Amino acid sequence: MSKKMLCSKCKTETATLILPRDQSKVCRECFFHIVEDSVHRAIVDHKLFTSGDILAVGASGGKDSTTLIHILHVLNEKYEYGADLHMVSIDEGIKGYRDESLDAVRRNQKKYGWPLTIVSFKDMFGYSLDTIVKLLGPKRACTHCGIFRRQALEVGAKKISATKIVLGHNANDYAETTLLNLIRGDLSRLKRGSTIITDSGYGPARIKPFKYVYQEEIVKYAFLKKLDYHSVECPYAVNAQRGLPRVYLNQLDRVASWSVLGFIKSNEQLQINEKKKKKLIANKCIKCGFLTSQKLCQGCVLRQKLDDSFSQLTIKLEEVEMEEVEEYVDEKEKENNFKKERIYEKEKVKVKINEKVKEIQKEKEKEFEKEKN
């Protein structure tokens, strides 16, 4: 950027930043205002929540959720939304990763003064994500984690009687989901994935105020505001299926910055033939009561899989132990038999020697008798 270029918005301050969504040159204050305002517009235009709503904001300690918490805090004071703000964190049980990001969540809890509720996989399902990966392998770690996290977040929200769950999904996440569902040919998901409010009618609705904010804008905002977040990526994220669409969108973004919002707008305007839409059957899981289209919810199916895998592992461990015990017994028996044989041999030799000695004695006695005679 050349020196002393004026901000394209206020036309008074020096432009120091490029706005990712349209590549315009802006000053710091205008950048903050643009990002905050697009969150405010999303909240107001889509009536995401109203005064008196209890909001359970998903707090992972990462960049997106930390920035979301900060902006909601700023806007709630500025526009007097009157929302009751809470943090809900999920402890998946990922050693060296989640424990550190939860420390960031706790520091932010002190900073903003919101109540914090933590729900752990281990307490709720009996298995930490580290154990799940050990039992089922790392390949579908993100899918398994997603199933449990969804339910854990709802349980956390219900604990505080939340009326809405607030998630930090940004514009790039929306574009990625759109692309992923297009690739999969999943039209029902394609449409459902485009909404800013997801309300199944059971439990609190999920709202996403970052829908029109670019990933890069969140990165810049968090950096410039010096927000306290944990920047390490989850060790299991390398196995996520989103890899390719993400790489593709990043490449596209370099030559066409509007493509992210383009994907979102296209999806919003898409009309899907009602006949082609899969009807969502809403049942309650016969085991836990969670919303599902099957008899058992995905969480219960996964838990059953883990229980089976765990019991198979225990059987295997027992088998190994039994084999070891049997080998040990065999070894000892052989040793004993060997000893017995050696004793027997020795005895045999002794007997033979004695016999020989007796023979020699007898012969000597005979000789002696002969001589006497």
Q: Which of 23, 5, 14, 31 is nearest to 254 (CA)?
A: 23
CA distance 246 to 253: 10
- Which residue, 245 or 299, is less far from Zn ion as judged by CB? 299
Nearest approach in angstroms of CB 225 to Zn ion is 16
Nearest approach in angstroms of CB 19 to Zn ion is 10
- Which residue, 54 or 291, is less far from Zn ion as judged by CB? 291
- Which residue, 60 or 298, is less far from Zn ion as judged by CB? 298
Nearest approach in angstroms of CB 12 to Zn ion is 7
Nearest approach in angstroms of CB 33 to Zn ion is 8
Nearest approach in angstroms of CB 143 to Zn ion is 17
Measured at the alpha carbon of residue 254, what is the angle toward residues 252 and 258, in degrees to the nearest 5? 70
CA distance 189 to 152: 22
- Which residue, 37 or 233, is less far from Zn ion as judged by CB? 37
Residue 14 · residue 2 · CB < 8 Å: no
- Which residue, 30 or 147, is less far from Zn ion as judged by CB? 30
Q: Which residues bind Zn ion (CB under 5 A)?
A: 7, 9-10, 13, 27, 30, 285, 287-288, 290, 297, 300
Nearest approach in angstroms of CB 25 to Zn ion is 9
- Which residue, 30 or 207, is less far from Zn ion as judged by CB? 30
Neighbouring-strand partners of residue 205: 164
Question: For the packed helices 141-159 and 298-372, what is the interaxial angle rounded to 10 degrees?
Answer: 120
Residue 371, both tokens: 């001589």
CA distance readout (Å), 263 to 105, 193, 219, 364: 32, 12, 21, 118
For 164-173, give one letter per residue: b (16+ CB within 10 A) or e: bbbbbbbbbb
